[in-house]
Amino acid sequence: MIAGKEAHAVGCNWSFAPIVDIDYNFLNPITNIRTYGSNQETIIKFADCQIEALKENHILPCIKHFPGDGVDMRDQHLLSSVNDLTVDKWNNSYGKIYQHFINNGIGSIMVGHILLPHHIKEINPECNEEDYMPASLSKEILTVLLRNKLGFNGLVVTDATAMIGFNVAMSRSKALPLCIERGCDMILFNKNIDEDYMFIKNGLKEGFLSQKRLDEAVLRIIGTKMANGLFDHSEVEESEKIVGCIEHQSLAKECAKQAITLVKEQKGVLPLTSDKYKKIRIYNLTDQDNGGFKEEGTQLSLTNLLQKEGFNVYEFDTKRLDFQEVFEGGIKDIKEKCDLVIYVANYDTASNQTTRRVEWIKLMAANAPWFMQDVPTIFVSLANPYHLFDVPMIKTYINCYTNNDQTLQVLVDKLLGKEKFVGKSPVDVYCGRWDTKR
């Protein structure tokens, strides 16, 4: 609802959402916190609500990434990734999800640069494996599966054609006209726009793209715009009264109250009190090259919020390491410096990242929790819910799913015992392992 209202307020009319991928593989760096979890019924339920809210605010939804991301551990931004589910498994998972939304009249679908080899083999047994194309360039997937078998007659848009997963499949001069010929209606983004226009024109002249298919694509684009009133020039509300308004901030805070999940808890660590923990050390874990810990739009920090509650809090400075502590420090030394340690991980899901794993300082893993058996230690993930894979030994672990001011405020209330932890995990946070549950 908030996304729809704020998008409409700033003049948007099309949303590349909801994401209806299934978070099958916890090592997948893309689906992670971008989809609604690992359960297809949950995904359908929440995506239905998002679609309804977008439509109520005059925003055209676009579900993605057909034929389904989340199986491969690799990123289609960097290569043509693979959904290697068998035909039956795909039909009973991703297939059911897409069939549901197609039956309910979804108007647009984004197609990913994702291979679906078992379907290609079934549809076209004569096709050699080296000739398999990602869905955005595959006639078998676009025309036979999506159009004919699933019955989708709406607008098909490619995922960004600047992505490597699209460009390595074939020469861009052929890929652009062929993605239209094989079933896409619209191309998302360009590399060199003048060159890309030339590739389409040349493709039409050389027979890679037929006039009939081009006309069909243009007709679908115009029809989609007309069906959604994009030629009506309806006025939008004043954005400053809508974007970031108090009502939306309150709703975001309520979402955080319901979502934040206490996955594991060591007896006696929570709730935090200034009497029990005189000094708290915080380790901020994030990408080293993103300009710092706080994401754009986030004004608060856990450090400042806890300080306002009367705690003596300081952050471990990775740029000014205490070499005596790194090479000679022991349990007594760290106990003199802090009574509690909190790790705050903010490895948000991001394009062009091969992994969303915890990364320690290379020098002696100086910021790793070697002391956790002797100093109470809490691990908080603001994004990726799967960090237990890298810190199974930590006994108090919390997932927040997103990093914003409202989430941080609610997190502090829950740490202090002012709010109960009520969130339930939408995925297997234990990553299918026994050691993460201990």
pLDDT (mean) for 163-167: 96
Token pair 């034929």: residue: 67
Q: Could you give the percent of the chain with pLDDT greater than 70?
A: 95
pLDDT (mean) for 122-138: 96
Average pLDDT over the chain, rounded to an integer: 93
The secondary structure element, H or E, covering residue 45 is helix 40-56
pTM tops 0.95: no
Q: What is the DSSP string of 278-319?
A: SEEEEEEE--TTSSSSSPTT----HHHHHHHTT-EEEE--TT
AA identity, residue 133: M
Confidence at residue 415, expressed as pLDDT on a 0 to 100 scale = 98
3-state secondary structure of 235: coil
Active-site residue identified among 21, 23, 69, 159? 159
Higher pLDDT, 244 or 180: 180
Distance of CA 22 to the CA centre of its chain: 11
Among residues 314, 313, 318, which one has the least CA distance to residue 366? 318
What's the rounded Cα separation, in Å, for the pair 258 and 350?
25
Confidence at residue 51, expressed as pLDDT on a 0 to 100 scale = 97
**Of the listed ranges 109-123, 161-175, 189-203, 285-299, the one predicted with least confidence:** 285-299
The DSSP code for 145 is I
AA identity, residue 35: T
Strands 261-264 and 396-399: antiparallel
Strands 114-115 and 261-264: unpaired
Burial class (CB within 10 angstroms; exposed 0-12, middle 13-18, buried 19+) of 59:
buried
The DSSP code for 127 is S
Confidence at residue 233, expressed as pLDDT on a 0 to 100 scale = 64
- For the chain, what percentages of helix, strand and coil (3-state, to nearest 5) are there? 35, 10, 50
In this structure, are residues 99 and 109 in contact, taking their beta carbons and an 8 Å threshold?
no
The count of other CB atoms within 10 Å of the CB of residue 113 is: 29
Sign of the CA dihedral with 354 first, then 357, 361, and 365 last: negative
Which residue ranges form the domains of the chain, and what is each CATH number?
2-227 (3.20.20.300), 250-437 (3.40.50.1700)
What b/e string do you get for 203-221 counting C-beta neighbours within 10 Å, with b at 16 or more?
A: bbeeebbeeebbeebeebe
**Going along 33-135, which residue ranges are E strands?**
60-61, 63-66, 81-82, 108-111, 114-115
List of residues 6+ apart from 110 with CB closer than 8 A: 16, 62, 63, 64, 65, 66, 156, 157, 158, 159, 188
Confidence at residue 237, expressed as pLDDT on a 0 to 100 scale = 61
Q: Is 159 a catalytic residue?
A: yes
Give pLDDT tens digits for 203-221: 999 999 999 999 999 999 9
Give pLDDT tens digits for 326-381: 898 899 999 999 999 999 999 887 778 788 889 899 999 999 999 999 999 999 99
Confidence at residue 17, expressed as pLDDT on a 0 to 100 scale = 96
Phi, psi of 111, rounded to the nearest 5 degrees: -105, 130
Give pLDDT tens digits for 275-329: 999 999 999 998 754 444 444 446 689 999 999 999 999 999 988 998 889 898 8
Give pLDDT tens digits for 219-254: 999 999 998 888 776 665 667 788 888 999 999 999
Give pLDDT tens digits for 43-80: 999 999 999 999 999 999 999 999 999 999 999 999 99
- Residues forming beta bridges with residue 6, ordered by sequence position: none
The DSSP code for 240 is G
